[in-house]
Amino acid sequence: MILSSEQEAALIAAARAAGENAYAPYSDYQVGSALLFDDGAVITGSNVENASYGLALCAETVAVSRAFGEGRRGGLVAVAVTGPLDKGDGAPITPCGRCRQVLNEIAQLGGTDPLVLCVGKDEVRRVTLSELLPHAFGPSHLV
């Protein structure tokens, strides 16, 4: 799905706002994520770290679990992911491998291939989830 520049800007702003609530005291790397659904709803998440470092939850995974918790089982049309502006080389942040798989679950349930807006300092990279996770394993394999 193609979003208007206003829709993209609003989704990115929602991800950025969510990132401000990130609990990332160990990495100091605050991530925000915003999911846009086909009814216009936006569900956000931010990363939640843990003193047991390996238990960190990524922003995208938090957002997807919130969406499932609200009863959503598809309809995902776009995702925005933002990272801190003062870290790294400013390249667009892309969802980690686990998050790609987690996003795929809700996408495949609804038969969509969401646009993923990977936000960098001066650039937004627009890719589809299937480009990030080709030949995905998903719920359709289990029926």
Residue numbers of the site for ligand THU (CB under 6 A)?
Answer: 24, 27, 29, 31, 47, 49, 56, 58-60, 95-96, 99
| Spatial distance between the Cα atoms of 45 and 67, rounded to a whole number of angstroms | 10
CB nearer to ligand THU: give 77 or 132: 132
The amino acid at 87? K
Which of 111/134 has CB closer to ligand THU? Answer: 134
> Residue 76 Cβ, how far from ligand THU at the closest point, in Å?
16
Alpha helices in 95-135 (DSSP H): 97-110, 129-132
Q: Are 124 and 95 in contact (CB under 8 A)?
A: no
Between the CA of residue 125 and those of 10, 66, 116, what are the distances in Å?
A: 16, 25, 8
Question: CB of 6: closest distance to ligand THU in angstroms?
Answer: 25
Instruction: Please tell me which residue in 60, 105, 123, 131 is annotated as part of the active site.
Output: 60
Closer residue to ligand THU in complex, CB, 59/77: 59
Q: Which value, to the nearest 10 degrees, does the dihedral of the CA atoms of residues 19, 119, 7, 18 take?
A: 0
Instruction: Give the nearest distance from C-beta 109 to ligand THU in angstroms.
Output: 21
Does 131 participate in catalysis according to the annotation?
Answer: no
Catalytically annotated residues? 60
